[in-house]
């Protein structure tokens, strides 16, 4: 399957959660290893857990590709591990992001953490399709 196919699946996962995630955006995440989907998730009801946290749960994601509809957070408002920290700890190989997140909890910080850890980061895949998910999203601190 192509990168676009995996991102479309992540978008579909997020779309199913729109309106159910409180102040947090609905995010979808798909994890692919060896060409097979091995994990997926979406932001939980009320905004927790985050999509990446759900998708990584119980998974050996070392060297996997991660497709996420919104930039992984660089910090959590709750003080827990951010999604970018979780992805670094999982030792994924590549993170493909559809849309940037201007929130004070992301705003390039999540992507920078991933890059600094040697993880390939690609942004903008199916950005127009993903942006429709975030039309009403008002990032924290903005």
Cα separation of 64 and 77, whole Å? 27
What is the DSSP code (8-state) at residue 25?
A: P
Residue 140 lies in a domain: no
Residue 139 lies in a domain: no
Q: What percent of the chain has pLDDT over 90?
A: 81
Residue 46, burial from CB neighbour count under 10 angstroms (0-12, 13-18, 19+): exposed
Catalytic, 52? Answer yes
Residue 81 lies in a domain: yes
How would DSSP label each residue in 34-78?
TTEEEEEEEPPGGG-S-HHHHHHTT---TT-EEEEEEPPPSS-TT
pLDDT at 102: 83
Average pLDDT over residues 111-118: 97
From the candidates 36, 40, 52, 128, give the one annotated as an active-site residue: 52
Range of the domain at 39: 3-134
Number of structural domains (the chain) is 1
Residue 142 lies in a domain: no
Give 59-107 pLDDT, tens digit per residue.
999 999 999 999 999 998 777 899 999 999 999 999 999 999 988 888 8
Provide the pairing of β-strand 65-70 with 94-99: parallel
CATH number of the structural domain spanning residue 19: 3.40.140.10
Average pLDDT over residues 134-140: 76
């Amino acid at each position: 399957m192509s990168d676009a196919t995996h991102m479309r699946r992540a978008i579909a996962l997020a779309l199913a959660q729109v309106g159910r995630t409180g102040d947090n955006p609905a995010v979808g995440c798909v994890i692919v290893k060896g060409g097979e989907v091995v994990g997926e998730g979406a932001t939980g009801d009320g905004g927790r857990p985050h999509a990446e946290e759900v998708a990584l749960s119980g998974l050996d994601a070392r060297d996997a590709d991660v497709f996420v509809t919104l930039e992984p957070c660089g910090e959590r408002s709750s003080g827990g591990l951010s999604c970018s920290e979780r992805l670094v700890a999982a030792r994924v190989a590549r993170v493909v992001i559809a849309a940037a997140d201007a929130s004070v909890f992301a705003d390039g910080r999540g992507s920078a953490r991933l890059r600094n850890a040697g993880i390939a980061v690609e942004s903008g895949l199916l950005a127009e399709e993903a942006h429709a998910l975030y039309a009403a999203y008002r990032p924290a601190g903005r």
